[in-house]
Structure 1
Amino acid sequence: MSVAQWGLAAQLAAYEPRGAVAEAAIGLDAQELQWIAEHPTVTVASAQYPLYLFKDEHGHWSGLNNDVLNRISAMTGLKFLHEETFSTDQLLERLESGAADISTTLAMSEERKEFLDFSHAFGVAGWVFVGRAGAPAVQSMQQLSKRVLVLPARHALEATIRRDYPSIELRSVKTYAEARALVESGEAYATIENETGAQLYPSGQLKVGDTVEGKWEADHLALRKGQPQLLSILNKALEAFPPAELRAIRLKWLDGIVPVQTPSTWQQITEWGCWSVFFASVFALLSLLWNRRLTVLIQQRRDAEKDLNDQLAFQHALIDAMPDPMFVRDLEGRLIMCNKSYEEGLSTRFDQIQGRRLIELDVLPKETAEQLHAEFMAQLGTRKTRFSERQLMFKDGVRDIYQWTVPFYSADGQLRGLLGGWTDLAKRRQGRRKAQCL
């Protein structure tokens, strides 16, 4: 089995050189080849969605969907250029306005098919309910009647839920992170997320429920309408995609996410019988085997510690890559962690402010520091999330910002502090104007 998995994974590196003739590889016609010659670069509106599409510790795009695009690029000669977005609503706006050509993380819906075309599917996953850990597991839409269901704006299931389940109180937010935070705080009863993504956010305050009956999210490439040649090129590439290679790519990213099935009773009896015979026949070597077992356990622990350190390093790099300032504070308001944007926004360094409260520093005007510290302490008392647009006085003057702060908990459900940050609205508006000009 190990050799077979290695063989599948090895196919990921066996991409054809860009010099190969695309027509011979996937049968492109003259119009499609002409379109590629006139449009060699395709702009991809990309929102980070772990395992499927995200930036690694070096700031490079990675994930299952990125591997699929790289393979299509090798087959067709097209070059895919990622343009980062930060919400589903913003991603859809880029496609509607023509600022981007395709996206890899949009689910198909009747509303989206009015202005988007979708390629052949290259994978499928279910939608699952995500609720609060202390409440009963959410098993159906009927269970949400007269309760708050929170979803990111323009979610693929939003129109269907509003039409078929009018008794559900539907609330829209910008991102899945905000949706999960509202469920954790109790302001919403549940949210709905891709089953793969839901398994990546273990928390003492959240619990994954059943799949949404009859609703599946197929993996498609979504294109803005009016690009028939590009749609045909992508479909031909997906049709010619070697099935073994596609399985290898999915195994590379999604292996281990699906819960392991419990062995049957007969399998358990057989396994224990084999072990009993084995230990009876090698009783004289028990001491040697025990020592070997201890060696294996020690090595496993070292490997686990290394994996944990790698994960922590990656998470720190991922936070530093965020364009907006972010911080983490403890129950006393002392700074535990922040990213590079936070340091730049307050013109300071982490080693100078670590473990200190805002009122002990000179990075903000005194009145602003006292106001924010008081708000943090009050929020820790109420344990409610906060998302608001406001004006705050900084050292360089008044800024219009979108501020968010969310309580976070330990694995056993104990309150540990606040996670927060802000977005400079003036810079965001300036970026949008610049994108429109382009």
Structure 2
Amino acid sequence: MRFFRGFKPAVCWMFLIGVLGLDQAGTAAQLATPESRGAGVGAIIELDAQELRWVAEHPQVIVSSVQYPLYLFKDEHGQWSGLNNDLLNRISAMTGLQFVHEESFSTDQLLGRLESAEADMSTTLAMNDERKAFLDFSHAFGGAGWVFVGRADAPVVHSLAQLAKRVLVLPARHALEGTIRRDYPAIELRTVKTYAEARALVESGEAFATIENEIGAQLYPLGQLKVGRAVEGKWEADHLAVRKGQSPLLSILNKALEAFPAADLRAIRLKWLSGIAPVESPSRWRQLTHWFCWGMFIVSLFGLLSLLWNRRLAALIKQRADAEKGLGDQLAFQHALIDAMPDPMFVRDLQGRLIMCNKSYEESLCTRFDQVQGRRLVELDVLPAETAALLHAEFMAQMETRKPRFSERQLLFNNGVRDIYQWTVPFYSVDGQLRGLLGGWTDIGHRTRHL
């Protein structure tokens, strides 16, 4: 009996820790499940007469959208998805606005559509002085910082001042371009069309660094690149950007954001961004509690210690299984994202054999992946023999030079000559070994005819 009396304190501590754990789990589940937060989720906001008239006169709001993974992108079914799309869907339910996405393929093209009144608003633009001249910005609903991305073997970039007399590459009309040109004239600033081209130039050594949103910088395989420090003083809030002259639309959006429950907005951000957020270190309180309980278990009963070890092993096994599932989900997402790209894309190994391609590639060459997997262009009849030989030779030469290539050219396909914008970039393994080429093309003539 005395033994069991000594065992009571350990039982009490286990019960207390269990109650605290259940309380934390319940709180987390409540935050993560939108349906459990009450009737405020679908609340409809009250609009004044001017705003109601504007909604009636504008049955559709055109949103100029560029694909930016997690924030806004097309899923495997070609439907728009992501954090910003969820936000617009919720605002639509609250206000009656109907948002229609029109895809842009670069920041420069997106801004051009807003300037020419081809679109009413955008969801992925950061605020700067140039944009405020023709855009109004809503209340903020989140945000992220900017980070430097440089070569893995180069010194870490700590500040913009460190880039003096070095090449910094940015997509054209980047949010920080004007500030950098004004405040850091010693930086050799070079502009390209997309972030992919900017990363390729840094990887090849033609540029020293680029600057990306800290969330987006973590989404792509780094290869020979590394994500560096945050750009000092350049944290950017997330806004909805509205073309000037549409004050009723801006007023409606601000009302919706003001009425948006904070818990709902937090749940949407966790849904899309929690998978790439840094893992928090255990708090000091948790560490002290863990070691205190450990000591109590040893003093009270060695058998209880064995039970706890078994539970710990079970938790580790479950954690590993969850990690493997998360990796599988990430790979599935990457495949779906590549298939959703409208332009043909392919991956070839060091011998020029096809490793992967998207649906657009299969459709453009009238073939299926299982028919061309593991084979070189010169072994197939998906292209004229002279075209296949030319491209294969270019691929092999490019893997010797290891330099990216972007060019507008004419190529002979089976159905005739096409004007295309072709790009190919080398890709590397985690240990820096060349693994092959990633490439694709855009049919410029087809796009021009449709324009």
**TM-score by structure 1 length?**
0.91
Q: Which residue of 2 aligns with 1:11?
A: 34
Output one character per residue of 1:170-229: Cα deviation in whole Å (capped at 9) or x when no partner.
111111111112212222111111111112224231211111112121100001111111
Output one character per residue of 1:229-284: Cα deviation in whole Å (capped at 9) or x when no partner.
11111111111222222222222222253323545778756644543443554422
Q: 1:336 aligns with which of 348, 352, 355?
A: 355
Q: Which residue of 2 aligns with 1:436?
A: none
Structure 1 residues without counterparts, runs of 5 or longer: 434-438
Larger radius of gyration: 2
Q: Which residue of 1 aligns with 2:18?
A: none
Give the whole-Å Cα distance in 2 for the aligned partners of 1:72 and 1:234. Answer: 7
Give the whole-Å Cα distance in 1 for the aligned partners of 2:285 and 2:97. Answer: 53
Structure 2 residues without counterparts, runs of 5 or longer: 1-23
Q: 1:391 aligns with which of 384, 405, 410?
A: 410
Q: Which residue of 1 aligns with 2:332?
A: 313
**Is contact 1:403-1:423 (8 Å) kept?**
yes
Cα distance change on mapping 1:275 and 1:135 into 2, 3 Å: farther
Q: Which residue of 2 aligns with 1:237?
A: 256
Give the whole-Å Cα distance in 2 for the aligned partners of 1:12 and 1:179. Answer: 42
Amino acid at match of 2:366: S
**Residues 109-118 or 249-258, more deviating:** 249-258
**Is contact 2:75-2:340 (8 Å) kept?**
no
Give the whole-Å Cα distance in 2 for the aligned partners of 1:298 and 1:8. Answer: 26
Cα distance change on mapping 1:307 and 1:124 into 2, 3 Å: closer
**Is contact 2:142-2:237 (8 Å) kept?**
yes
Q: Which residue of 2 aligns with 1:2?
A: 25
Cα distance change on mapping 1:202 and 1:276 into 2, 3 Å: farther
**1:85 equivalenced with 2:108 (yes/no):** no
Shift, 1:100, TM fit: 1.3
Give the whole-Å Cα distance in 2 for the aligned partners of 1:205 and 1:105. Answer: 28
**Is contact 1:128-1:208 (8 Å) kept?**
yes
**Is contact 1:40-1:77 (8 Å) kept?**
no
Cα distance change on mapping 1:165 and 1:368 into 2, 3 Å: same
Output one character per residue of 1:316-352: Cα deviation in whole Å (capped at 9) or x when no partner.
2221111111000001100001111111111111111
Amino acid at match of 1:3: G
**1:254 equivalenced with 2:273 (yes/no):** yes
**1:427 equivalenced with 2:446 (yes/no):** yes
Q: 2:195 aligns with which of 169, 173, 176?
A: 176
**Partner of 1:214: helix, strand, or coil?**
coil
Q: Which residue of 2 aligns with 1:73?
A: 92
Cα distance change on mapping 1:223 and 1:101 into 2, 3 Å: same
Q: Matched residues, percent identical?
A: 77
Give the whole-Å Cα distance in 1 for the aligned partners of 2:158 and 2:402. Answer: 27
Matched residue count: 427
Output one character per residue of 1:142-176: Cα deviation in whole Å (capped at 9) or x when no partner.
11111111111110111111111111111111111
Output aligned runs, 1:89-108, within 5 Å.
89-108=108-127
**Partner of 1:49: helix, strand, or coil?**
coil
Shift, 1:294, TM fit: 4.0
Cα distance change on mapping 1:8 and 1:109 into 2, 3 Å: same
Amino acid at match of 2:32: A
Output aligned runs, 1:1-400, within 5 Å.
1-11=24-34, 22=44, 25=45, 27-262=46-281, 271-272=290-291, 274-279=293-298, 281-400=300-419
RMSD, aligned CA: 2.2
Cα distance change on mapping 1:229 and 1:390 into 2, 3 Å: same
